[in-house]
Amino acid sequence: MSPNLLIRNVFASGHDFWHTAPIPRLSVPSIKCSDGPNGVRGSKFFDSVPGLCIPCGSGLGATWNKALLQSAGVLLSQECKAKGAHAWLGPTVNMHRSPLNGRGFESFSEDPYLSGILAARIIEGVQSGGSAAVLKHFVANDQETEKRSVDVVISDRTLREIYLLPFQLALKYGKPEAVMSSYNKVQGVHCSESKNLLQDILRTEWGFDGLIMSDWWVF
């Protein structure tokens, strides 16, 4: 394993539920992440400090208002600071493929172009205040049922034109600090270990040089 890859693996491992492990010899501190997307959760799932509750992704997406999305990002960054979080785990740019998706409300739209453009603006707002945005869930994570094992079998054209496009646009125009991979498989390979998705497309083709992290419960 190369030193850079080793550093990325260590850095992305959890020191506890919300903090990455520090790397003292490189003066890299522990990074606190906080869940989104329509607020900043903080460190607790229950009995947490009350937080901001902006409209959910679907509500924001229905406005088609780029300036509003950027303003929402600024508010989220301020809440990150108030709760001591360095990274906000959002936005979500998965597709509205079915109304039965239990987390569809997190995403902006069924339209990949609209989703990517709006995501870029909320990312700009979040990162304008010094917080990091974590674009998620990469990629084709569009159902909750068996999401850790489902295999999304789609053509390359469908993958490119529907599922990857919002990520590509958000990365190009919003420049998030990090990307979170999804639980599911695409073409038989878990996204969190897919060379094609993470290395060939995200790193090499799109030139992303930020942090790639897995989702929270990867077995």
CATH code of the domain covering residue 169: 3.20.20.300
Domain residues for the domain of 115 are: 54-213
Confidence band for 7, pLDDT divided at 50, 70 and 90: very low
Domain-located, residue 43: no
In a domain, 152, yes or no: yes
The continuous run of DSSP H or E covering 94 comes out as none
**Mean pLDDT score across all residues of the chain:** 90
Q: What are the helix (H) ranges across the chain?
A: 3-12, 57-61, 66-82, 112-128, 156-158, 165-174
On whether the CB atoms of residues 95 and 107 are closer than 8 A, the answer is: yes
Residues assigned a catalytic role = 215
Is 14 within the bounds of a domain? no
How do residues 140-171 score in pLDDT, each as one tens digit? 999 888 888 999 999 999 999 999 999 999 99
Indicate the number of domains in the chain. Answer: 1
Three-class DSSP category at 35: strand
Is 219 a domain residue? no
The model's pLDDT over 10-34, given as tens digits with 9 standing for 90+, comes to 455 677 888 888 889 989 889 999 9
Band (pLDDT 50/70/90 cuts) for residue 43 is confident
Q: Is the pLDDT of residue 44 over 90?
A: no
8 within some domain: no
